[in-house]
């Protein structure tokens, strides 16, 4: 909590200069909601003796994964590349040099119960080249939740300011400044599916709740 009190100054310079006086408080409001979108981060990794081969192979297998996901019902607008990496894979001295290529894909689905089938579609396309870095349940449109959280935050800020005004013997005036901070707490599930194979298509995950939080720093002048 941030609380700052400023008493009126009696000196001539402060009165003529309009010195800002009052109380600054922070209020917070948090509202939860039911997730309506599933985000999965999948990757394709391949090893090859040279860079060109590594890039070509990771490209082919990534295209196969994307095609499988599209066939599974994932819209193209909900598939995006989040990272591409190619680097030398260092081995024991005396062994052949190898290069590793990685392509990471962000997948969004409105089907929160179809995670197992989605994952198996990717596994069937890429085999042991598939990796999975995790999944997240989220709320796609948070605008209404933010409105509610903002109202709660302001109510809390005003209540604090009124209390402090009574304690300090002042009357609360108007709001002169507001600063807002937003936080979002999606539900994350961490998985390490490197060298994934043979996932059970019936695998289930539970969305739980997702929440948003708004913090307001509000300055009230003295009346």
Range of weakest confidence among 1-5, 12-16, 26-30, 157-161? 12-16
Q: How far apart are alpha carbons 132 and 122 in whole angstroms?
A: 10
Q: Which of 218, 211, 214 is nearest to 185 (CA)?
A: 211
Sheet of 210-222, strands arranged across? 3-6, 22-33, 210-222, 172-185
Helix axes 51-71, 115-126, angle to 10 degrees: 140
- Mapping DSSP onto H, E and C, the string for 24-81 reads EEEEEEEEEECCCEEEEEEEEEEEECCHHHHHHHHHHHHHHHHHHHHHCCCCHHHEEE
- The tens digit of pLDDT for each residue in 191-209 reads 444 444 444 445 667 787 8
Containing 223, the helix (H) or strand (E) segment is: none
- The tens digit of pLDDT for each residue in 131-182 reads 998 889 999 999 999 999 999 999 999 999 999 999 989 999 999 999 999 9
DSSP 209: -
pLDDT at 5 over 70: no
pTM above 0.95, yes or no: no
Share of the chain above pLDDT 70, in %: 83
Range of weakest confidence among 20-24, 86-90, 171-175? 20-24
pLDDT of residue 96: 84
């Amino acid at each position: 909590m941030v609380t700052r009190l400023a008493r009126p100054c009696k000196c001539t310079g402060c009165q003529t200069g309009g010195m800002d006086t009052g109380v600054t408080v922070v209020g917070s409001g948090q509202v939860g909601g039911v997730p309506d979108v599933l985000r999965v981060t999948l990757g394709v990794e391949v090893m090859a003796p040279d860079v060109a081969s590594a890039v070509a192979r990771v490209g082919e297998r990534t295209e196969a994964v994307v095609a499988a996901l599209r066939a599974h019902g994932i819209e193209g607008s909900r598939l995006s590349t989040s990272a591409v990496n190619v680097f030398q894979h260092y081995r024991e001295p005396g062994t052949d040099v190898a290069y590793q290529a990685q392509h990471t894909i962000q997948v969004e689905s409105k089907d929160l119960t179809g995670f197992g089938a989605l994952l198996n579609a990717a596994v069937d396309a890429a085999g042991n080249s598939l990796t999975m870095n995790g999944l997240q349940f989220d709320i796609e449109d948070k605008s209404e939740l933010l409105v509610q959280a903002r109202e709660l935050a302001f109510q809390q800020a005003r209540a604090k300011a009124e209390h402090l005004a009574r304690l300090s013997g002042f009357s609360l005036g108007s709001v002169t400044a507001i600063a807002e901070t937003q936080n979002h707490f999606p539900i994350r599930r961490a998985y390490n599916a490197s060298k994934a194979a043979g996932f059970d298509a019936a695998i289930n995950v539970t969305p739980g709740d997702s929440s948003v939080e708004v913090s307001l720093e509000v300055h009230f002048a003295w009346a």
